[in-house]
Chains A and B, each alone.
Chain A
Amino acid sequence: MNPARITGALRSPVTFSVLAGVLIGALFLVGTGADPITAYEAVLTGALGADGIGSTLTTTTSVLGMALALAIPLRARLINLGGDGQMVLGGITAAVTGLYSPLPAPLTVVLALLAGMAAGAAYATLAALCENHLGVPLLVSSLLLSYPAVSLASYLARYPLKEPGSSLPQTRAMPDGVELPSFGDSTVTVGLVLVAVAAAAYCFTDRRTAVGYEIRMTGLNARFSAYAGVERRGLTLKLMSVSGALAGLVGAIGVLSFPYRFVDGSLTAPGYTWTGLTAALLAMAAPIGTVISSFFFAVLQVGGLAMERTTEVPRELTQVLQAIVIVFLAARLRFPGRWFDRRKEAV
């Protein structure tokens, strides 16, 4: 990297937003009577230490999966807010497939993953069709469609598919062997590899293929790319189906990993969809950046628990931090030098 690129990176709005988030977070910590340095140390050691790294990588699997699901349409400036619904439908479909498939266990796992992806893709496509044919903005249709999907999955897990005799709203456990292999005795599963492959495929598509170029052009200037022959409706449909498939995959991975069943609320409660969206926005949907920011937010999420244990500061602080970063980024604040340049341009 040459010096110009380094100063460019330092002055970028991303660096500014992250620093601002960390600083404001420190003010919150001081406000609650905690020592910010101790607290941030607890976040880092808790998330990256020997006890926490497994948990961080498991969280990274879900966060990165959802971040990719949201980044791919975001690259073309389409915002898919229906991640929760698509993920949960993927999860419940994978659970049904896992429980009732007559195939041998290893094939059932593959089938369950594919079924989860198909369910997520189908549901996301529905939102795209709403925009294409009914003129409802994707942002709104995808989000509103998400609520009935979450309710449906919750109903299935509480009534028809409920584990007999259990007091918890959950399905029966997957049959023997219907699970994603994990690494050693950690909770990290092959799911991480699947998500990493998806990230690599996105990176390749973005940089080296015509489709990736069309997507980026649409994101930069939708009218120009339409003039140049990119068919917007088809692109929306394609991007949303890929996005939904990834969200469905995250749901399926969740079901095929510990506790090897669909538990109502366990996929939506940690807020993977929103953390993923935050990560995708922070990276402006660039492939490598999405991977880095997803890992960053997974560290925050897991480290937040460690911080809560050592300093008694609520872990919700990490959610506040994430949102502050995006508020600053959205306002496109930059370091003064750049900022004044931009204002001069505007005059």
Chain B
Amino acid sequence: MFFDSDLLMSALRALTPILLAALGGAICERAGVFNIGLEGMMLMGCFTAVATSWFTGSPWLGVLAAALAAAGYSLILAVGAVTLRGDAVVLGVAMNLLAVGLTGFLLRTVFGVQGTFDDPSLAGLPLIGGFTPLTYLSWAAVAVAAVLLSRHVWGLRLRGVGEAPDAAATLGVSPVRYKYGAILVSGVLCGLAGAQLALGNVTLFTENMTAGRGWIAVVAVMLGRAAPVGVLLAALLFGLAEAAGFRLQGLGLPQQATDAAPYVVTLGALFLTTARRRRRIRPSGAAS
């Protein structure tokens, strides 16, 4: 059978890194910061997780270090876009490029290898019921983010900062502080996403191993309209596409076709939802 519990399991595994990164992106979006540096932050998380796990022998320290490193890396966006009012899109693109170069450079200076660092003694994350603890954490994060954004005063202030920064400032809510907070949280979540990718799904580091997942996460934010549950559904779609791709590969389809599957499915979903949304908006006559 094509759709069975194995497929769902591998879909849920594929979904975890996207979901974590996309949640971070959604929180930034709500605070009014367009964060397309998710890919780069994830990649920094991947490398830090592997390097720390290798040197300390503890994957848990690897996860912690990945979260801290990616949060530190996200400061580039915070300082550049919020404090210095630079262009967030250009900064995000540059951060993604910098992460590819930096991790490649570190891979060669720290481990002396090019391409892939793969060692049998590198400790990966343990599995509980077929998933890493980070997978469960990602589900919990969706619930927490959903409650915070809709119920808690922090979430309401964050949304206020995103939608009407001047009004928020008048009420004594510092937009700068909330934006910094949102960006740092997105850094932590992307670091966890990277750790999951490098110590959970597999146990190795490959140059550019995020391979566009950060961009899929950006799309998941758009698809899910920056709402935690919406983002979860969008990420699930990607997870299913990736798992189905692997399954098809087992059935003899060339790898190239299955590599492309998640992107094609994501694009298709994006077209369908935006087209529907536009049809709904158009009668009011507001063309941007």
Contacts and interface: CB of A to CB of B under 8 A. Distances in A.
Interface stretch (A93-101, A143-151, A212-220): A143-151
Contacts of A278: 94, 97
Given A143-B215, A152-B256, A327 B275 contact: no
B118 interface: no
A314 to B, nearest CB: 4
Interface stretch (B19-27, B172-180, B184-192, B264-272): B264-272
A316 B97 contact: no
> Max chain A CB contacts within 10 Å: which of B89, B108, B264?
B108
A143 B274 CA distance: 17
Given A141-B267, A332-B85, 13 more contacts: A134-B270, A135-B278, A144-B267, A144-B270, A151-B257, A152-B260, A320-B102, A321-B101, A323-B95, A323-B100, A323-B101, A330-B94, A332-B87
B98 A327 contact: yes
A326 B94 contact: yes
Nearest to A327: B94
Nearest to A148: B260
Contacts of A335: none
A139 B256 contact: no
Given A148-B263, A324-B98, A331 B79 contact: yes
Contact of A130 (B91, B97, B215, B271): B271
Nearest to A323: B98
Given A331-B84, A332-B86, A274 B271 contact: no
A278 B263 CA distance: 24
B270 A323 contact: no
| Among all A-B residue pairs, the 9 with the closest Cβ atoms | A319-B101, A323-B98, A331-B80, A155-B256, A151-B260, A330-B90, A326-B94, A331-B86, A314-B108
B254 interface: yes
B120 to A, nearest CB: 25
Given A147-B212, A148-B260, A327-B94, A135 B274 contact: yes
Contacts of A28: 105
A316 B207 CA distance: 11
Which secondary structure dominates chain A's binding surface? helix
Nearest to B91: A330
Interface of A: 28, 32, 79, 81, 130, 134-137, 139-141, 143-145, 147-148, 151-152, 154-155, 158-159, 274, 277-278, 281, 314, 316-324, 326-327, 329-333, 346
A317 to B, nearest CB: 6
A330 B278 contact: no
Contacts of A151: 256-257, 259-260
Interface in B126-153: none
B105 A317 contact: yes
A346 B197 CA distance: 42
A136 B93 contact: no
6 contacts: A139-B89, A314-B108, A319-B101, A320-B105, A331-B79, A332-B86
Given A32-B109, A152-B256, A320-B105, A134 B275 contact: yes
Contacts of B86: 330-332
B133 to A, nearest CB: 30
A316 B111 CA distance: 14
Given A320-B105, A332-B85, A136 B256 contact: no
B68 interface: no
Nearest to A140: B219
Question: For B85, B94, B95, which residue has the most chain A Cβ atoms within 10 angstroms?
Answer: B94
A281 B90 contact: yes
B181 interface: no
B268 to A, nearest CB: 10
Contacts of A281: 90, 93-94
Contact of A323 (B94, B215, B218): B94
A134 B271 contact: yes
A144 B238 CA distance: 13
Contact of A136 (B76, B97, B270): B270
A148 B264 contact: yes
Contact of B90 (A141, A159, A318, A326): A326
A155 B254 contact: yes
B104 interface: yes
A141 B81 CA distance: 23
